[in-house]
Chain A
Amino acid sequence: MRKIIAVLGVLLLLALAGSAFAADVIKIGHTVSLTGGASMWGQSEARALDMLAKKINAAGGVLGKQIEFVRYDNRNDAVEAVNVARRLVSDGVIAVIGPAQSGNSIASAPVLEKAKIPMVVTTATNPYVTIDQKTDKVRPFAFRPCFIDPFQGTVAARFAITDLGAKKGAILYDVGSDYGQWLARYFEEAFVAKGGTIVAKEAFRSEELDYRAQLGKMKDLAPDVIFIPTSQKEAAMAAKQARDLGIKAILLGTDNWGSPDLIELGGSAIDGGYFVNLADLADPDIQGFVAEYKALYGEDPVLPNPVMAQDALIMIVEALKKAGTTDGTKLADALANLKNIKVTSGVLTIDPENHNPLDKPAVIQQVDVANKTFKFVKKFVSVE
């Protein structure tokens, strides 16, 4: 009995010490892919967040407290993302940054919503990240700083038809990703609505490397443009394989293409391809960030995640200042009503109706292999 009391006493002391220590910091969760297929953006995202938090902490922190990240690897896997969300809840974080992918975000949202902890995803562009698909109502604790896929898919289709003069389109997408599946659908709808025809819609499974069977089928149908809503890795491989099969169609992609290594990975095959992006490395607004990141880590940030993650952290910090408390419900309320705050990518206002940013523009970039850059082509502010 005495032993039990002693043990309990020690535990109580530890708990007191723990909470006394915790009082000096604000714990923000970060669920991110540090390993797995998306780790390249994940690691860049983590670096950008650490860089910004250091600056905020040096300037006195938020509400007089220092920011501390509780970071777990979700391995870009929906099951693991849910586990991470649960761990973050039990760790007592006051808000969560991430995940970056739509599928993982949609899986994590209910866990955090139940715990009343606001979540600000980084680059998850699927509409159902902030809207509950079952009830069609806004998820009260989910927010994002990036544009959404119906906008992106429509921009891509508009651009294909009006600027590239395409009539026949084909789609190659990853059936294992919410991102790819929905974008394929939004593109198809917008392309058909504008008078085009989709001659082939072919899928592959995540982590697959060879798409020649699917592309071989498209070849006979001679599309003018092939829409490939994937990350730069799949886009590069699809481009190489399409050119090997003698396919001459214009390749068109989405914001996940926008990584500096697309050119190295795709080589001559990807030259001349177009894609929609959230941010442009050459964007004058983010030059300060790019220079700072490069000075600290010796390489370019892997866009767009680092920029969007910083935006997410700034959203949380601004909301904390506005709410004056770390209470989840009040914090979510402050996040929903953010107006004209200065973030890394520019200026941001959150729409309280759907928790998406208002008027987030999309840029069209073209891959220029000879000069190793993405050429700015066009900016869409809206598709109306």
Chain B
Amino acid sequence: MFLQTLITGLSIGGIYALMAVGYSLVFSVLNFSNFAHGAVIMLGAYVGLALATKLSLGFGLVLAGSIAGAGIIAVLNERLAYSSLRRRKAPSLYLMISAMGCAVFLENLVYATIGSRFYAFPEFFGRQVVTLGGSSISLLDVGAFLFALAAILGLHLFINRTRTGIAIRAGVSDMTMCSLMGVDLDRLIAIVFLLAGGFAGVAGVFLGVKYLVYPTMGWVTNKAYIAAVIGGLGSLPGALVGGLLLGIVETFVSTYVSSVLRDVFSFSMLIAFLIWRPNGLLGRDSEEKV
């Protein structure tokens, strides 16, 4: 039972990490918690679903389409809802409130246009199960986990090795200075949102394939937000570590303590971290959280 719990925890944690990356990316540059990220994940799942059911595309194309779609939605979201606040140098609290508004708006937009019913992705790979020492996991979960790790590693390399990545890091440490040095801030922020949106697309497809697609599915990102805080908001390795840690802790609490107390533990962890270690495990120093 221990091994099974660990495997399940890692698999859940991988998805949390994938979602937490989107929070951390935006937080690192704009210093606010983008609560509309969950809604972008949900829209990414719908984009993928439309490609899979209406156009009968294969898994690879569905994933690519969803990454592109969610990326564009995230950029539009920034342009329409955040950019004017940002230019007026509004406090990050205003941006966060705007983000919450966007989340509710997008969710209700889906209710009004697509409707409230649940959808499932077609079964791309059948139900193949790998057994390991008496513990089972579906092949899909293994694939999703590895893909999440690879994507986060790829992003890490992109930010550390490329010119654009260096510009993003410069923006992280000092936005004003960065723009004085000739970096186009609007373009830079658009790239950050495109990346965050791309990750939302991946997370949306994985969530949709593993669970279901419906308008409120984005609320599961509450957990990803906790993962991002635990790892340190704004830190990519932190998002990965926080996600995996939260997934494992939750699964162990459910199995060995009580499944009903699981969220009590998760949210207690969030509060404890905010009080005693607001920068998380791997976060950089900053004055404002939440």
Contact = CB atoms under 8 A, between A and B. Distances in A.
Interface of A: 34-37, 39-40, 42-43, 175, 202-205, 207, 209-210, 212-214, 216-217, 219-220, 232-233, 236-237, 240, 243-246, 261, 264-269, 302
Nearest to B220: A209
A203 B257 CA distance: 12
Contacts of B235: none
A204 to B, nearest CB: 6
Interface in B105-143: 108, 111, 115-120, 123, 126-127, 129, 131, 136-138, 141
A43 to B, nearest CB: 6
B164 interface: no
B259 A213 contact: yes
A217 B2 CA distance: 10
B216 interface: yes
A39 B116 contact: yes
A244 B142 CA distance: 12
Contacts of A36: 116, 216
B5 A213 contact: yes
Interface in B226-284: 250-251, 254-255, 259-260, 262-263
A244 B141 contact: yes
Contacts of A216: 1, 4-5, 8, 255
Contacts of A265: 118-120, 212
Contact of A40 (B117, B123, B141): B117
A204 B250 CA distance: 12
A348 B44 CA distance: 47
A127 B189 CA distance: 56
A214 B254 contact: yes
Determine the main DSSP class of B at the interface with A. helix
B123 A204 contact: no
B118 A204 contact: no
B255 A213 contact: yes
B217 to A, nearest CB: 8
Interface string B31-65: 00000000000000000000000000000000000
A39 B116 CA distance: 6
Contacts of A236: 118, 120, 212
Nearest to B263: A205
User: What DSSP secondary structure best describes chain A's contact surface?
Assistant: helix
A167 B14 CA distance: 37
Interface size on B, as a range, is 35 or more
A244 B120 contact: no
A213 B250 contact: yes
A125 to B, nearest CB: 21
B211 interface: yes
12 contacts: A35-B111, A36-B116, A40-B116, A204-B259, A207-B219, A213-B250, A219-B4, A233-B212, A236-B120, A237-B212, A243-B127, A267-B127
A305 to B, nearest CB: 13
B19 interface: no
B144 interface: no
Interface in B3-30: 4-5, 8-9, 11-12
Interface of B: 1, 4-5, 8-9, 11-12, 108, 111, 115-120, 123, 126-127, 129, 131, 136-138, 141, 207, 210-212, 214-216, 219-220, 250-251, 254-255, 259-260, 262-263
Contact of B137 (A210, A244, A264, A268): A244
B136 A246 contact: yes
A213 B1 contact: no
Given A37-B216, A209-B211, A210-B12, A244 B127 contact: yes
Given A213-B251, A245-B4, A246-B136, A35 B116 contact: yes
B120 A267 contact: yes
A40 B118 contact: yes
Contact of B136 (A34, A240, A244, A264): A244
A205 B250 CA distance: 13
B116 A43 contact: yes
Nearest to A43: B116
B260 A175 contact: yes
The listed residue with most B CB atoms (<10 A of its CB), out of A39, A210, A217, A265, is A210
A214 B12 CA distance: 14
Given A219-B4, A268-B123, A213 B260 contact: no
B97 to A, nearest CB: 22
B240 to A, nearest CB: 19
Contacts of B117: 40, 261, 302
A160 B183 CA distance: 69
B259 A202 contact: yes
A380 B116 CA distance: 33
A268 B250 CA distance: 28
A202 to B, nearest CB: 6
Contact of B254 (A213, A261, A266): A213
B120 A264 contact: yes
A203 B263 CA distance: 13
Contacts of B216: 36-37, 207
Contacts of B136: 244-246
